Amino acid sequence: MITSGPYSVAYDRSWMMFVDGENLTIRAQEYVRSQRFEIPEGEYHKRNTFIWLPNQHASGRFFGHAFLANASIRSYYYTSVVGDGPALTRVRTSLWELGFTPEVFKKDKQADKTKGVDISLTRDMLSHAFMNHYDAAVLVSGDGDYVPLVKAIKQQGKRVVCVFFEGVGLSPELKLAADDYYDLTGAFQKSWQTLLKPFPDHSSES
């Protein structure tokens, strides 16, 4: 059940999740740095490429809450990586092992963001809505560029839940465009609290 909005909504029908991995990863890294910690790389994190919550399967009940009662039909993760074919395959494999359907694009070293991520996420979220594959879409992003997408999904009679960090790159317009909003901060802290590394203290160095 969602309780963060002005009312509570129980979802017991079908849902799919769409994660803008570039946006999520960069903002998660920013948030952790602001708390004077670093995120170790491993199965749940690759710097500037992907991040997820330890021990949270992508297709399971949403973060252990009764907010979406059933398992997701499918969970997509969109990101990009600098490198060749093997580098892309390694990232796809990591995301697949976390329960995602991975969409991984090759990124230029100079690029901050890959357009293919936004385009592919928009295409998939819309096409599944048009084909009536879900009742609710969970959008994990704080990017205000998705506001027209959210409005288009709602016009198809679907509900949209926005999930992101409150106050860390979350577009107010995106939050208000969605039917409901879930602040990811608490679940993120709980999942990562035993794995984060203290930020190096260089104050005593000469």
Which pLDDT does position 2 carry in this prediction?
41
d(CA 14, CA 71): 8
d(CA 150, CA 164): 15
Please report the beta strands in the chain, taking only residues with DSSP state E, as ranges in sequence order.
15-20, 37-38, 45-46, 50-51, 75-81, 101-106, 136-140, 159-164, 180-183, 197-198
DSSP 42: B
Q: What CATH number does the domain located at 15-198 have?
A: 3.40.50.1010
Residue numbers of the chain with a pLDDT score lower than 50 = 1-8, 10, 64-66, 202-204, 206
Which pLDDT does position 10 carry in this prediction?
46
Pairing of strands 197-198, 37-38: antiparallel
CB atoms within 10 A of CB 117: 24
Which pLDDT does position 61 carry in this prediction?
66
d(CA 161, CA 149): 12
Which pLDDT does position 8 carry in this prediction?
44
Q: What is the token pair recorded at 109? A: 């070293």
122-131 pLDDT, tens digit each: 999 999 999 9
Q: Which helix (H) or strand (E) holds 99?
A: none
> Is residue 130 within 8 Å of 106, Cβ to Cβ?
no
Residue-range domain boundaries for the chain: 15-198
Which pLDDT does position 167 carry in this prediction?
87
